[in-house]
């Protein structure tokens, strides 16, 4: 029986060893998504632009919604709600894309399972690369709109990559767990789709944590996405540095979770070929 290394350092070694393959597969994934369309890769930019335009029109002009708590300046402008909402949607989008696709990763690539030398554990990294590309485009659109509406970025925006690291590790841990579980339990894909939709409304995407009663704030903060979304808004939009203790704890917890998911995947992958 083939043995797979499951030490924490092996997670890093796997990425480092196959980084070129991950990059090639990620590029192929991105280009194939828009292959054959008239605008091609331009759709990657048009989609977030159109979504931000819709959010601005619906919430800022039609409903005249205002973001509870501090705005993006001395007085809240009409665009503040759309900017806050769009920021939350970008962060949530990274989570949703990587987790929703995880249960079908192995099932959708049976040829890779039959290749003994193919590193199946890199498949979630490919999905994460695609999700991060979409997020990068979204952040570029967000920042451009942010600046066009007379706001300013400050040095705190440099914290953004560090704030997103716990999210990446969390998603990787879940992806390794779910893509393995999806091989043995085919209903996982349907369940995950429902769960991620529910989580969108149970995360501070459409509202700030401060707008809820204290009792509900406590339960909302148990959601790992809460601190990531809130701190993304803090460093990028509100010119506030992140809470370093919260960032440290969430980073260590997500690292451990990623390793646990990797261990689960390596332990259970031996039966993939028999089931598929």
Counting the structural domains of the chain, the total is 1
Asked if 178 and 103 count as a contact pair (C-beta separation under 8 A), the reply is yes
As a whole number, mean pLDDT of residues 93-105 equals 96
Whole domain around residue 144: which residue ranges? 8-275
pTM of the model: 0.92
Written as six digits, the tokens of 92 are 């949530």
Question: Is residue 114 exposed (0-12), middle (13-18) or buried (19+ Cβ within 10 Å)?
Answer: exposed
176, 261 Cβ separation under 8 angstroms = yes
* Position 21 pLDDT exceeds 50: yes
**SS3 assignment, position 179:** helix
What pLDDT is stored for residue 2 in this prediction? 54
**What's the whole-number average pLDDT of the chain?**
90
On the question of pLDDT at 6 being above 90, the answer is no
Query: 10 Å Cβ neighbour count for 6?
Result: 15
pLDDT digits (tens, 9 = 90+) for 190-234: 999 999 999 999 999 999 998 888 889 999 999 999 999 999 999
24 occurs within a structural domain = yes
Residue 2 lies inside a defined structural domain of this protein: no
- Look at residue 218 and tell me if it is in a domain: yes
Q: Are 173 and 259 in contact (CB under 8 A)?
A: yes
> Domain for residue 41, yes or no?
yes
Residue 72 has pLDDT above 70, yes or no: no
Does a structural domain hold residue 3? no
pLDDT digits over 133-162, tens only? Answer: 999 999 999 999 999 987 889 999 999 999
User: Is 45 a domain residue?
Assistant: yes
């Amino acid at each position: 029986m083939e043995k797979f290394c499951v030490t924490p350092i092996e997670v890093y070694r796997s990425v480092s060893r196959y980084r070129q393959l991950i990059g090639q597969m990620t590029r192929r994934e991105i280009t194939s998504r828009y292959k054959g369309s008239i605008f091609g890769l331009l759709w990657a930019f048009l989609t977030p632009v159109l979504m931000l335009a819709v959010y601005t029109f619906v919430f800022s002009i039609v409903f005249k919604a205002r973001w509870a708590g501090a705005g993006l300046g001395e007085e809240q402008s009409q665009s503040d709600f759309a900017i806050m909402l769009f920021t939350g949607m970008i962060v949530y989008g990274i989570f949703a894309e990587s987790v929703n696709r995880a249960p079908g990763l192995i099932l959708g690539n049976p040829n890779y399972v039959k290749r003994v030398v193919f590193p199946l554990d890199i498949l979630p990294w490919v999905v994460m690369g695609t999700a991060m590309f979409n997020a990068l485009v979204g952040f570029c659109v967000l920042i451009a709109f942010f600046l066009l509406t007379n706001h300013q970025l400050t040095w705190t925006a440099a914290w953004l990559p560090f704030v997103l690291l716990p999210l990446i590790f969390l998603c990787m841990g879940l992806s390794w767990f779910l893509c393995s579980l999806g091989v043995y339990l085919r209903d996982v894909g349907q369940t995950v789709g429902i769960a991620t939709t529910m989580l969108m409304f149970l995360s501070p995407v459409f509202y700030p944590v401060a707008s809820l009663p204290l009792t509900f704030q406590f339960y909302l903060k148990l959601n790992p996405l809460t601190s990531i979304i809130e701190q993304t808004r803090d460093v990028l939009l509100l010119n506030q540095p992140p809470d370093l203790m919260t960032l440290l704890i969430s980073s260590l917890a997500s690292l451990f979770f990623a390793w646990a998911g990797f261990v689960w995947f390596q332990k259970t992958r031996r039966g993939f070929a028999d089931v598929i």
